[in-house]
């Protein structure tokens, strides 16, 4: 049975049964095969019906024997609440009055009033699991039950239409093909969360649309997510749509930025996110599809489309998707969600950052933390423009080979942060308009001041990347803090 075939059964099978015994079996059960001859014996003691879950030819019914009913969709087994086969039930007036499971000669004789049952058989054999407990059936059933609860408008795709092209034609994609969001796929996706499909997750800009869990699921399907990614996508949507993160402004800006999702916690390992080799690159389904799902929600639910309200002069390739996990298992430092939000390491969280792009920092010679910190600071000064300060945030992604330099010298994450902030105190004379022959810069009145490159709270430090390579990366941000976007950390729910 597939989810699409399933129809709820309205009438009770049990209510129509005559008083007597019913046995539920399956052919794929050694105990059921063992006790098949006993079922023949029980006909004389009131066994009226044998319900078989998998094979209409099992058990063989002798002449004038009981009726064998095939329960191919397992609706009868579900109604009878069968957990184990064989199960013997006593029916009176359309109700179950007693049951026994597995094979036990004593129990079956007491249950049926018959003597000398199955004398050739062992005294006892445990039963097998009912097919209703088969994980594939349980999932299909859950999907089938969820489909009628879906509220999204149904879009009929014509017989002559290619569904992939139809989704492009309707403007639902980011330029790459999307997975067609069939009701069954969306219903399966909703199995990834405990939340009600109609619960409002966020009000999505720019159109300020109430976005349900179901709408997030539709877009998560299209992005290529698995159901187990959905809680992360939901948290990312919630975080992005806060007043602090300001997804509206981030979308509308002429600047490069789009949302970066950094994921922390055990869920990153359980769903197989990449925090190692090529962590910021392609090739990992969870990384790729979670970031993409967030962008599809903003596009499709919020109505934020490039060239319309998205006015980016250039944009950046991360606007397709930009999501990675922190490399926590061998990090010398506490994870981002712990240092930023005071969460516990075993909690799951997303941190949203308005990311403009990735810039390498190469330093293959520094073995002292002071030297490497200077290299980082020199690179970080270029964020936005070397003569602009206090305007942009920065996320520094440090790879294991660079992190080891700080770890070996006993530098905490806070120490590195503070040293970088100190190195990025810049004399105003270098920043004013005209300095170094560049018109860009600050008004002349700042010439005698000393100014920090970044605001307090505007510098993130994250550990990620492969084991080899003395490279780190700075991810430049967007208009920082209350002016533009605040970095937001949000717990991932269930």
Partner 1 sequence: MSEVLLDPTGERSATTRARALRPASLKGLRVGLLDITKARGNVFLDRIETLLGDQGCTIERFSKPTFTKPAPIDLRHEIAAKCDVVIEALAD
Whether 85 and 28 have beta carbons less than 8 Å apart is answered as no
Distance from C-alpha of 124 to C-alpha of 103, rounded to nearest angstrom: 5
Which uninterrupted H or E stretch holds 48?
A: strand 47-52
Radius of gyration of the chain (CA): 32
Q: What is the DSSP letter of 388?
A: -
210 near partner 1 (CB under 8 A) = yes
154 near partner 1 (CB under 8 A) = yes
Kindly tell me which of 119 and 156 has the beta carbon lying closer to partner 1. Answer: 156
CB of 13 to partner 1, least distance (A): 29
150 near partner 1 (CB under 8 A) = yes
Residue with token string 């006790």: 35
**Residues near partner 1 (CB under 8 A), total:** 44
Q: State the burial class of residue 263 (Cβ atoms within 10 Å of its Cβ: 0-12, 13-18, 19+).
A: buried
Query: Of residues 1, 34, 114, 209, which one binds partner 1 by CB under 8 A?
Result: 209
Query: Of residues 15, 67, 97, 155, which one binds partner 1 by CB under 8 A?
Result: 155
Quick one: CA dihedral 415, 416, 419, 422, positive or negative?
Answer: negative
Kindly tell me which of 97 and 155 has the beta carbon lying closer to partner 1. Answer: 155
CB of 152 to partner 1, least distance (A): 4
218 near partner 1 (CB under 8 A) = yes
Whether 88 and 21 have beta carbons less than 8 Å apart is answered as yes
CB of 330 to partner 1, least distance (A): 38
462 near partner 1 (CB under 8 A) = no
Which uninterrupted H or E stretch holds 177?
A: none
347 near partner 1 (CB under 8 A) = no
User: For 177-310, where are the E strands, in sequence order?
Assistant: 200-204, 209-212, 258-264
Kindly tell me which of 186 and 405 has the beta carbon lying closer to partner 1. Answer: 186
Closest CA to 462 of 425, 424, 416: 416
CB of 421 to partner 1, least distance (A): 24
- Considering only residues 281-340, where is the footprint of partner 1 by CB under 8 A? 296, 300-303
142 near partner 1 (CB under 8 A) = no
CB of 483 to partner 1, least distance (A): 5
373 near partner 1 (CB under 8 A) = no
CB of 223 to partner 1, least distance (A): 10
User: For 337-435, where are the E strands, in sequence order?
Assistant: 349-355, 357-362, 392-398, 425-427
Query: Of residues 98, 145, 169, 207, which one binds partner 1 by CB under 8 A?
Result: 207
Quick one: CA dihedral 353, 354, 358, 363, positive or negative?
Answer: negative
Kindly tell me which of 123 and 159 has the beta carbon lying closer to partner 1. Answer: 159
CB of 457 to partner 1, least distance (A): 17
Kindly tell me which of 183 and 276 has the beta carbon lying closer to partner 1. Answer: 183
Query: Of residues 72, 99, 133, 182, which one binds partner 1 by CB under 8 A?
Result: 182
Closest CA to 452 of 485, 418, 414: 418
Whether 370 and 360 have beta carbons less than 8 Å apart is answered as no
186 near partner 1 (CB under 8 A) = yes
Whether 222 and 196 have beta carbons less than 8 Å apart is answered as no
Residue with token string 């445990």: 126
Tokens of 409: 């010298």
Q: Name the segment binding partner 1 (CB under 8 A); options: 46-54, 129-137, 251-259, 331-339.
A: 251-259
For the beta sheet containing 87-92, the strands, ordered from the edge strand earlier in sequence to the opposite edge, are 67-70, 47-52, 20-25, 87-92, 95-101
Query: Of residues 68, 204, 416, 420, which one binds partner 1 by CB under 8 A?
Result: 204
CB of 2 to partner 1, least distance (A): 14
CB of 260 to partner 1, least distance (A): 17
Query: Of residues 222, 234, 336, 405, which one binds partner 1 by CB under 8 A?
Result: 222
485 near partner 1 (CB under 8 A) = yes
Distance from C-alpha of 448 to C-alpha of 429, rounded to nearest angstrom: 6
State the pairing for strand pair 209-212/200-204: antiparallel
CA 165 vs CA 94, 177, 222, 300, 303: distances in Å: 54, 8, 13, 16, 20
CB of 5 to partner 1, least distance (A): 13
Whether 178 and 167 have beta carbons less than 8 Å apart is answered as yes
CA 283 vs CA 273, 274, 276, 280: distances in Å: 10, 9, 12, 10
Q: Name the segment binding partner 1 (CB under 8 A); options: 192-200, 201-209, 430-438, 447-455.
A: 201-209
Query: Of residues 59, 86, 127, 181, which one binds partner 1 by CB under 8 A?
Result: 181
CB of 199 to partner 1, least distance (A): 15
Kindly tell me which of 74 and 218 has the beta carbon lying closer to partner 1. Answer: 218
Positions in the binding site for partner 1 (CB under 8 A)? 150, 152-159, 163, 166-167, 172, 180-183, 186, 204, 207, 209-211, 215, 218-219, 222, 246, 248-250, 252-254, 296, 300-303, 479, 482-485
């Amino acid at each position: 049975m597939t989810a699409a075939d399933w129809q709820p059964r309205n009438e009770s099978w049990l209510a129509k049964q005559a008083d007597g015994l019913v046995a539920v079996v399956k052919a794929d059960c050694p105990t059921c095969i063992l006790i098949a001859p006993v079922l023949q014996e029980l006909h004389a003691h009131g066994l009226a019906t044998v319900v078989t879950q998998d094979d209409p030819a099992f058990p063989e019914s002798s002449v004038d024997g009981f009726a064998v009913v095939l329960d191919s969709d397992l609706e009868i087994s579900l109604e009878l609440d069968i957990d184990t086969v064989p199960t013997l039930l006593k029916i009176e007036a359309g109700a179950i009055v007693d049951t026994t499971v597995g094979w036990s000669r004593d129990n079956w004789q007491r249950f049926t009033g018959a003597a000398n049952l199955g004398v050739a058989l062992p005294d006892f054999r445990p039963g097998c699991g009912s097919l209703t407990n088969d994980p594939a059936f349980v999932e299909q059933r859950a999907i089938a039950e969820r489909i009628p609860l879906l509220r999204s408008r149904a879009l009929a795709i014509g017989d002559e239409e290619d569904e992939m092209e139809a989704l492009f034609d309707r403007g639902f994609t980011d330029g790459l093909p999307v997975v067609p969001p069939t009701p069954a796929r969306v219903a399966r996706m909703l199995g990834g969360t405990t939340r009600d499909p109609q619960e409002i997750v966020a009000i999505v800009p720019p159109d300020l649309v109430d976005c349900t869990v179901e709408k997030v699921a539709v877009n998560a399907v299209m992005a290529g997510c698995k159901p187990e990614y959905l809680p992360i996508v939901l948290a990312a949507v919630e975080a992005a749509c806060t007043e602090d993160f300001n997804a509206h402004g981030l979308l509308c800006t002429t600047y490069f930025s789009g949302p970066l999702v950094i994921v922390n916690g055990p869920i990153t390992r359980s769903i197989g996110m990449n925090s190692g080799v090529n962590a910021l690159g392609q090739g990992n389904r969870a990384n790729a599809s979670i970031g993409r799902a967030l962008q599809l929600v903003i596009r499709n639910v919020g109505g934020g489309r490039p060239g319309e309200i998205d006015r980016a002069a250039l944009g950046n390739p991360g606007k397709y998707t930009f999501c990675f996990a922190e490399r926590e298992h061998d990090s010398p430092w506490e994870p981002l969600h712990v240092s930023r939000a005071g969460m516990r390491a075993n909690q799951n969280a997303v941190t949203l950052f308005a990311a403009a792009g990735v810039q390498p920092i190469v330093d293959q010679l520094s073995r002292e933390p002071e030297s490497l910190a200077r290299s980082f600071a020199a690179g970080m000064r270029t964020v936005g423009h070397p003569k602009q300060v206090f305007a942009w945030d920065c996320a520094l992604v440090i790879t294991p080979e660079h992190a080891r330099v700080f770890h070996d010298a006993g530098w905490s994450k806070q120490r590195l942060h503070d040293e970088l902030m100190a190195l990025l105190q810049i004399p105003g004379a270098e920043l004013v308009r005209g300095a170094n022959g560049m018109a860009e810069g600050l008004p002349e009145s700042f010439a005698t001041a000393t100014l920090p490159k970044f605001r307090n709270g505007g510098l993130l430090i994250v550990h990620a990347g492969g084991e080899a390579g003395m490279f780190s990366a700075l991810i430049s941000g967007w208009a920082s803090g209350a002016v533009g976007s605040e970095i937001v950390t949000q717990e991932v729910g269930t």
